[in-house]
């Protein structure tokens, strides 16, 4: 259950970080499009995007794989999630 909060916090942190880098690229770096600083900032920006999306993808895979073990109760029963009463049944 805590992985949901981790993914949400990680996503919000990454979103703020990418927004900050985006603003740095377009407002702090020189205005010349052929500038080495701008190309370096853009490459760092795209690299951080790729790393961020790959990390979120693997966090989601981790959640999907391990959520089945967390939310299945043999014989059926209620699991108390934050704000939700979740009923599960063992199907195997």
The pTM score is 0.37
**What pLDDT shows up at residue 24?**
72
**What pLDDT shows up at residue 36?**
64
**What pLDDT shows up at residue 58?**
76
The DSSP bridge pattern shows strands 84-88 and 77-81 to be antiparallel
The alpha carbon torsion through 29, 33, 39, 42 (nearest 10 deg) reads 70
List, in order, residues 6 or more apart from 70 with CB less than 8 Å away: 1
Compute mean pLDDT per 10 residues along the chain, 92 residues long, and list them.
Answer: 63 75 69 64 74 76 64 52 54 45
**What pLDDT shows up at residue 43?**
73
Residue 75: CA atoms inside 13 Å, Cβ hemisphere, count? Answer: 0
**What pLDDT shows up at residue 35?**
61
| CA distance linking residue 41 with residue 37, whole number of Å | 6
**What pLDDT shows up at residue 82?**
56
Q: Name residue 81's beta-bridge partners.
A: 84
Domain boundaries, the chain: 2-88
């Amino acid at each position: 259950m805590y992985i949901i909060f981790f993914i949400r916090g990680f996503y919000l942190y990454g979103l703020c970080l990418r927004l900050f880098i985006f603003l740095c690229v377009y407002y702090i770096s020189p205005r010349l499009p052929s500038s080495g600083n701008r190309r370096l900032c853009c490459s760092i920006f795209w690299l951080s995007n790729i790393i961020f999306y790959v990390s979120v993808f693997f966090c989601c895979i981790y959640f999907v794989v391990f959520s089945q073990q967390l939310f299945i109760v043999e014989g059926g029963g209620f699991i108390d999630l934050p704000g939700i009463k979740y009923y599960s049944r063992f199907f195997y």
